[in-house]
Amino acid sequence: MSAGVLTATLLLSRWRTCEREWPAILRSHPVLFGLLLALGFVAGELPNSFMKRQLDIEPGGRRMPLLGIALTIFDQADFVPGVWLTLSPLWLMSPAQALVVFVVAVMAHSMINVLGYAIGARKTWT
């Protein structure tokens, strides 16, 4: 996961269409930004995965209806808080920006999961 995030960051660093929105990020070195982003993705995944394992909830499973649904939704974008934290030395997202990123990530990840299930690449649609 980290290698993919770092590679994508280096490739996207050549694409300068967001200079007005994210000048602090663009002033940083792409490798530093990519490493912090990769660390944020991994760090964001850990607490949710740990909690699900402690509750004996298998990947894609919902053992407890209400908590299981909440964890499933959070699982789609659990990296957002981690990225928010690790990128804070370069760029501090506002709570509104973090919420938008979270909602977009949940929607995109959910659509990809359903597509993966539809083509037989996943065992569950969640």
Query: Where do the domains of the chain lie?
Result: 2-93
Residues 6+ apart with CB under 8 A from 106: 73, 76, 77
33-67 tens-digit pLDDT: 889 999 999 999 888 888 878 877 776 555 566 67
The structure's pTM equals: 0.76
Q: For residue 76, is pLDDT > 90? A: no
Helices marked H in the chain? 2-12, 23-27, 30-54, 65-75, 79-86, 95-118
Distance CA 126, CA 123 (A): 9
Helix (H) or strand (E) holding 120: none
Indicate the SS3 state at residue 79.
helix
The pLDDT of residue 21 is 57
